[in-house]
């Protein structure tokens, strides 16, 4: 870029005039004396994702609209344009959509263009009383250099002592870490360190965590990334999800605060408004966008829903974990059963 390139009154205006809610700027490597190719990805309040570019040869005319994606139904909260991927996160319980970016000589290309890659969610319950820790210290990411694999850091409940590290491009699990003394993790971040001057050294990536008791810990993510593929694929399993929910008391959202005298235990309370955020880790062919509010409400109201089953398990303790008594097999004359069997609990249950 040249100095005169900064003298602009208005760089670009969204065609639909929607509010811009997230921004990501990528500067391609300098390939000529004219400067860099500027690529800007942004998300809007209506859930749209747009990519605009400016050629070095067209300085003065402003960026041109390159691509538009309308896959979210909630405002976009995060967006990241890297060398190989375009990642967007919307307000619908951290619903993530990703695309593979095609480049030619370092510049984004339309042949074959950006192609859909993955759709998944990051489960992150919020504290009902607002004492779950500093939100700035619990940012899910993505973390990492733009020319390397980036990761999301997932903390399921505010008082969790375990974190899950997942690829931001596909949602695949890299590893999980748990505090040494079992104390809750209140803050975390990822640090990129340059390699030393020794021959064969390379940059290292570390995860730093802060605990409720004041201790700090450092974890080697580079080694975990080297062993990618050994960890379970996808998001949390049913057992892991139940273990996380045991550390808190589930409280349904309500306009008025409930009486604290009726609480059975002093365990942290979390709102169920974000309980439906989870990883589906499926192809985009089965997901055309974030579930609409009426659909989500219908799922919450449905008998045997994910939320109801979680509430029963957490409130009733280990007694209800015995296998239920099998229901009598319906008569063949009745056709299909009136009530479908409950599916196995996992992050794809909703």
Domain boundaries defined on the chain:
1-123
User: Which range, of 18-27, 61-70, 278-287, averages the lowest pLDDT?
Assistant: 278-287
User: Which range, of 45-54, 186-195, 309-318, averages the lowest pLDDT?
Assistant: 309-318
Binned at pLDDT 50, 70 and 90, residue 243 comes out as confident
pLDDT of residue 96: 94
Tell me: pLDDT of 165 over 60.
Answer: yes
Instruction: Give the span between the Cα atoms of 313 and 322, in whole angstroms.
Output: 11
Tell me: pLDDT of 338 over 60.
Answer: no
Q: Are strands 107-108 and 103-104 parallel, antiparallel or unpaired?
A: antiparallel
Kindly state the average pLDDT of the residues 172-176.
90
pLDDT of residue 159: 86
Q: Is the separation of the CB atoms in 152 and 120 below 8 Å?
A: no
Kindly state the average pLDDT of the residues 49-55.
89
Tell me: pLDDT of 100 over 80.
Answer: yes
pLDDT of residue 293: 47
pTM for the full model? Answer: 0.71
Tell me: pLDDT of 76 over 90.
Answer: yes
Tell me: pLDDT of 219 over 60.
Answer: yes
Kindly state the average pLDDT of the residues 298-312.
53
Tell me: pLDDT of 350 over 60.
Answer: no
Binned at pLDDT 50, 70 and 90, residue 300 comes out as very low
State in Å, rounded, how far the first CA of the chain is from the last one: 47
Binned at pLDDT 50, 70 and 90, residue 168 comes out as very high
pLDDT tens by residue, 5-21: 666 667 889 999 999 99
User: Which range, of 170-179, 214-223, 228-237, averages the lowest pLDDT?
Assistant: 228-237
pLDDT tens by residue, 180-209: 999 999 999 999 887 666 666 678 899 999
pLDDT tens by residue, 270-297: 555 445 444 444 444 344 444 444 444 4
Which of the pair, 241 or 184, is modelled with greater confidence? 184
Kindly state the average pLDDT of the residues 41-51.
95
pLDDT of residue 75: 96
User: Which range, of 53-62, 310-319, 326-335, averages the lowest pLDDT?
Assistant: 326-335
pLDDT of residue 341: 56
Instruction: Give the span between the Cα atoms of 188 and 212, in whole angstroms.
Output: 12
Which of the pair, 208 or 298, is modelled with greater confidence? 208
Per the CATH hierarchy, to which homologous superfamily does domain 1-123 belong?
Answer: YVTN repeat-like/Quinoprotein amine dehydrogenase (2.130.10.10)
Kindly state the average pLDDT of the residues 35-56.
89
Binned at pLDDT 50, 70 and 90, residue 348 comes out as very low
């Amino acid at each position: 870029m040249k100095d005169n390139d900064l003298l602009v009154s208005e760089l670009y205006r969204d065609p639909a005039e929607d509010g811009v809610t997230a921004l990501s700027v990528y500067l391609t490597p300098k390939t000529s004396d004219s400067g860099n190719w500027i690529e800007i990805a942004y998300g809007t309040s209506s859930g749209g994702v747009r990519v605009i570019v400016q050629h070095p040869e067209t300085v003065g005319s402003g960026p041109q609209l390159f691509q538009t994606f309308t896959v979210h139904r909630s405002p976009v909260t995060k967006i990241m344009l890297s060398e190989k991927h375009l990642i967007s996160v919307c307000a619908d319980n951290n619903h993530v959509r990703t695309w593979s970016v095609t480049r030619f000589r370092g510049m984004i290309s339309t042949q074959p263009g950006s192609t859909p890659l993955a759709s998944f969610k990051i489960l992150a319950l919020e504290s009902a009383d607002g004492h779950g820790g500093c939100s700035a210290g619990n940012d899910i990411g993505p973390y990492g250099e733009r020319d390397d694999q980036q990761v999301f850091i997932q903390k399921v409940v505010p008082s969790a002592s375990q974190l899950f590290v997942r690829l931001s491009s596909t949602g695949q699990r890299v590893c999980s870490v748990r505090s040494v003394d079992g104390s809750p993790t209140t803050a975390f971040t990822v640090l990129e360190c340059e390699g030393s001057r020794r021959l064969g050294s390379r940059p290292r990536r570390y995860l730093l965590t802060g605990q409720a008791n004041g201790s700090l810990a450092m974890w080697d993510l580079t080694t975990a990334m080297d062993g990618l593929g050994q960890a379970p694929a996808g998001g949390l399993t049913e057992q892991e999800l139940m273990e996380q929910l045991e550390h808190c008391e589930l409280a349904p959202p309500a306009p008025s605060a409930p009486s604290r005298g009726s609480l059975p235990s002093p365990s942290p309370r979390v709102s169920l408004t974000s309980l439906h955020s989870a990883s589906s880790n499926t192809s985009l062919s089965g997901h055309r966008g974030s579930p609409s509010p009426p659909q989500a409400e219908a799922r919450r109201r449905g008998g045997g829903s994910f939320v109801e089953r979680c509430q029963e398990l957490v409130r009733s303790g280990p007694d209800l974990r015995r296998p239920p008594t099998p229901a009598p097999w319906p008569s063949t004359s009745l056709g299909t059963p009136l009530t479908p069997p409950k599916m196995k609990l996992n992050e794809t249950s909703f």
